[in-house]
Amino acid sequence: MRKLRTVVSKDLTKLASIHAASFKKNWGQDAFAKLLEQTSNAAWLIEEDDEIAAFIVVMSSGDDLEILTIATHPDHRRKGLAKQLLLGVDGKQALGLDGNWFLEVSEENLSAVQFYENLGFLKRGVRKNYYKLDDGRRVDALVYGIKLGHLVC
Ligand SMILES: CC(C)(COP(=O)(O)OP(=O)(O)OC[C@H]1O[C@@H](n2cnc3c(N)ncnc32)[C@H](O)[C@@H]1OP(=O)(O)O)[C@@H](O)C(=O)NCCC(=O)NCCS
């Protein structure tokens, strides 16, 4: 059974481990704690059979929402979890707001680009050489956006 709920402090170890399994530059538990101390930030997760399987951290700025990070545990990918999470948060957060979702994604993160484009996100710009990789290479960040409440199901 799946359950979407707000992240609480006892979840942070698991969030950090999913993040570590999902990104080369991972954030530790303390980084998540600091992020969530800020009142502009909020996080949700999905449990699958009582196990935390995916999460999202969002920053609000005026009427806009920025995706700071989103990840699904590698064992749970392509089961619709991240989509369900984003649609669920969109349903909760878009109420009363007239803004947009925004996010930055590496041009080399093809699965995430596909994920966002299939949800209806449109490319709004490029930040040249935004990410520095371990081998010293720099890659562009693509900026995507979509109006709140307009994600494609
Ligand atoms: C991107 C990510 C969050 C997607 O999570 P997920 O739970 O596997 O995604 P979903 O199952 O909800 O996918 C929904 C749709 O997105 C698209 N999609 C997701 N992953 C994809 C992939 N690897 N390749 C192509 N399309 C993909 C598909 O259209 C998919 O629907 P389908 O499976 O019916 O074809 C996950 O791959 C991940 O955690 N990646 C590492 C962290 C990351 O890059 N986060 C984004 C940073 S900006």
Is 65 domain-assigned? yes
Domain presence at residue 106: yes
Query: CA 124 to CA 145: how far, in whole Å?
Result: 6
| Total-model pTM | 0.97
Nearest CA to ligand 1 atom 8: 77
Structural domain includes residue 63 = yes
Asked, for residue 41, whether it belongs to a domain, the answer is yes
CATH number of 37's domain: 3.40.630.30
Q: Which atom of ligand 1 is nearest to the CA of 84?
A: 12
Q: What is the pLDDT of residues 98-121, one digit of tens each?
A: 999 999 999 999 999 999 999 999
- Structural domain of residue 140, as residue ranges? 2-147
| 55 assigned to some structural domain | yes
The answer to whether position 121 is within a domain reads: yes
Closest CA to 101 of 84, 127, 119: 119
Torsion sign, CA atoms 70, 41, 125, 101: positive
Cα gap 69→36, rounded to integer Å: 12
* Residues in contact with ligand 1 (CB, 6 Å cut-off): 22-23, 54, 70-72, 77-83, 103, 105, 109, 111-112, 114-115, 118
> Within a domain: residue 153?
no
- Write out pLDDT tens, residues 6-57: 999 999 999 999 999 999 888 999 999 999 999 999 999 999 999 999 999 9
Nearest-angstrom CA–CA distance, 44 and 7: 5
Which atom of ligand 1 is least distant from the CA of 22?
41
Number of domains in the chain: 1
Confirm whether 152 is domain-assigned: no
